Amino acid sequence: MIAKSYQHNYENLKNILNETAATVSLTTDLWSSRAKHGYIGITAAWITPNFKVKDVMLEIKYAPSPHTANLVAELLYDCISSWDLNGRVTAIITDNGSNMKAAFPILTQKDQCETIQRLPCVTHTLQLAIGKGLVPVEILAARTKHILNFFSTQKQIERLEEVQRKLGYEDIMRCIQDVQTCWNSSYYAWDRLFYLKDAIIQLQTDLYTSTNREDKKDGTKLKKIMLSEEEWELLDKLIDLLSPFEGATRYFSGGTYVMLSKMMLTIKEFTFDLATDSENLPSNDADYLNEDTIFEEGDVEIDNEEIISNITKKKISIKNPLKTEGILEKVKNNVYNALLYYWDTPNDTGLMATLLDPRYKELGLELEDKKIEIIQKLRDEFNELNSNNSNNTTPIAPIAEPSNPIIPFSDAESSLRSQKE
């Protein structure tokens, strides 16, 4: 019955794609189940002739290890062929994994896949930049996990809720666990933890001064892992820093609206806000060649005083509070440099989408010459489409070449700073 139902819906969806999808974009991701089995997920998005945005799951398929570039290319091509999408896929959105990047030169050698572009996932890249940026607070992140794990048992949850009632909290909340595979997880966990700060401190005092032996034992544990006042203050500032990224992550995770046009301007806005009056410290590009971030670190047991750093792969002590002086500035600088690194070269497809969106079509002064290039590229593509559809259409004339050299996105820093001043 399940097989019949699948085949019925498969044929229906294929018919819908054939009738309403002139072109489609795909999104793909690889992951492992709890049983350590590898899978690939592929979704399709398109706009119907009635200008309705459609977003459907095409496949969740077993992907045997190792997940090489050749395997990824074959899985993508099999999906494209089985759904009769050959020649209709314009772009595929992926993460920044080396196997994903290397798969596309292989895929584009296949029949009717020559023009497929790889677009890096905006949300994944934002989270990668944040994860690189937060390296200076790796110790603080681990110490917050100490507290989150302490309040993961039912006994401690109930105690925390009771203290909130005594203190007059309007909303009784629980801690949110920091889950490495969930985007924005650290932000949500830290935001909730700071909301519960007064209740946590009060509970620690109540337990530590209790005459009950078990309560006092728990109070001693909580006191041992408690954040310092300087760490609480830094946590508050980090929450403010990450808040705009949380909003952007939610926006770019949507599936019912067009979002590509907002990509470049969102990155410009973040780099503008993070640019400082003093010169930003240069970064080491080697820091960005891998995807190691503080988000990949696992749970931290309450009794652990050391962890293995996911960045250096060495043991680091989390027994003592983090020295917070100058740390926030380091985080801002790291995120700033990561954004410039990952979006060093403007994506032409993204810029074309921005230019066609009446809300953002100006692009910005520092990209004015790039704008001229993109307009010409749009005209070329329009003429090519018209030549394929009709030989009677008058082509659009090319525009004049820009007199100034094109300014790369990484060089926009000076323009951003001049605007800020």
Q: pLDDT for 53-63, tens place per residue? A: 999 999 999 99
3-state secondary structure 362-403: CCCHHHHHHHHHHHHHHHHHHHHHHHHHCCCCCCCCCCCCCC
Lowest-confidence pick of 12-21, 96-105, 412-421: 412-421
Q: Is there a contact between 170 and 179 (Cβ–Cβ < 8 Å)? A: no
Lowest-confidence pick of 22-31, 152-161, 223-232, 271-280: 271-280
In 138-162, which positions are buried (b, 16+ CB within 10 angstroms) versus exposed (e)? bbbbbbbbbbbbbbeeeebeebbee
Confidence band of 268 (pLDDT split at 50, 70, 90): confident
Distance from C-alpha of 396 to C-alpha of 284, rounded to nearest angstrom: 45
pLDDT at 44 over 70: yes
pLDDT of residue 311: 76
pLDDT at 390 over 80: no
Lowest-confidence pick of 14-23, 256-265, 315-324: 256-265
Torsion from C-alpha of 181, 186, 192, 194, nearest 10 degrees: 160
DSSP conformation class of 211: S
Output the CA angle 21-25-26, nearest 5 degrees: 120
pLDDT of residue 402: 41
3-class DSSP state of 37? coil
Mean pLDDT of the 193-221 span: 95
State pLDDT tens for residues 287-338. Answer: 666 667 776 655 666 667 777 777 777 888 888 999 999 999 999 999 999 9
Distance from C-alpha of 227 to C-alpha of 299, rounded to nearest angstrom: 17
With CA atoms as reference, report the closest residue to 125 among 345, 354, 347, 343. Answer: 343
Mean pLDDT of the 25-34 span: 90
Mean pLDDT of the 107-118 span: 94
pLDDT at 194 over 70: yes
Beta bridge partners, 29, equal 41
Q: Is there a contact between 227 and 144 (Cβ–Cβ < 8 Å)? A: yes
pLDDT of residue 415: 33
Calculate the average pLDDT of the chain.
84
Mean pLDDT of the 334-361 span: 84
Confidence band of 419 (pLDDT split at 50, 70, 90): very low
pLDDT at 284 over 90: no
Output the CA angle 357-183-180, nearest 5 degrees: 160
Distance from C-alpha of 32 to C-alpha of 35, rounded to nearest angstrom: 8
Determine the residue type at 142.
Answer: A
DSSP 260-314: GGGHHHHHHHHHHHH--SSPPPP--GGGGSS---GGG-----TT--EEE-TTT-S
pLDDT of residue 347: 78
Q: List, in order, residues 6 or more apart from 39 with CB less than 8 Å away.
A: 30, 31, 32, 33, 60, 61, 62, 63
DSSP conformation class of 325: T
Confidence band of 138 (pLDDT split at 50, 70, 90): very high
Confidence band of 208 (pLDDT split at 50, 70, 90): very high
Confidence band of 31 (pLDDT split at 50, 70, 90): confident
pLDDT of residue 404: 38
Q: What domains can you pick out in the chain, each with its CATH number?
A: 2-120 (3.30.420.40), 128-342 (no CATH), 348-420 (no CATH)
pLDDT at 86 over 70: yes
Mean pLDDT of the 86-95 span: 94
Lowest-confidence pick of 115-119, 216-220, 239-243, 258-262: 258-262
pLDDT at 372 over 90: no
pLDDT of residue 236: 97
